[in-house]
Structure 1
């Protein structure tokens, strides 16, 4: 299964959740529901995955924590905020680069239309 195949499943699961629950809940609620839906779809999902980084001769354990990693290919950062910020995008870009993942998705469930809160970010591509 490719990253694009996974991202389509993520979008459809997120849309289903958004339609049923609406906006205004904590990120944790959306995260749990999304993991439930992704696992129902047969995907391997890791939640709150810790990652180390290496800096010169130093290995920093638990340097950051990703909300969700699917099939060890796609990283999800789940939000429930008024607007995504440049920090949110930079954070996900770093997760992708440091973990050598190809695709990440920012999912902001606090938008009237779910599609307006979804941002795909590909590792190594400068897009805004």
Structure 2
């Protein structure tokens, strides 16, 4: 993938999140928004994996962990869904860690407990994004 393709995919994901938020509003469980966002993305033809378990390499071993990524779209962008009053730095740190472990170039931290998805959503990129061609 290129940086442009990742950016376009991110834009499409946010559009789907806005649609879900407009229809459902704030106040539901994260799992409900996850199911609805996954549905919207699949309807657009994207490959969506839900509750992806993560493995970590520690020393010379690979460890199965209880860590799960909410959504992984087209094997490229990780979506971490929240329904909290305020996003905290730990939420961004969690997403950055998932991106590093899974070696994905972009993550979207989407809080559905808000009036405006685009104002509260946090897009994150890392060194894997920087290495992509334009």
TM over 0.5, yes or no?
Answer: yes
2:73 is the counterpart of 1:70: yes
2:5 is the counterpart of 1:21: no
Gaps in structure 1 of 5+ consecutive residues = none
RMSD (Å) for aligned C-alpha atoms: 1.4
- CA shift for structure 1 position 63: 5.0
Cα distance in 2, alignment partners of residues 63 and 122 from structure 1? 24
**Runs of 4+ in structure 1 over 6 Å off:** none
TM-score normalised by the chain length of structure 1: 0.93
* 1:50-90 CA distance string (max 9 Å, x none): 11010111211135210000010000000111011111000
TM-score normalised by the chain length of structure 2: 0.89
Gaps in structure 2 of 5+ consecutive residues = 129-134
Cα distance in 2, alignment partners of residues 119 and 79 from structure 1? 11
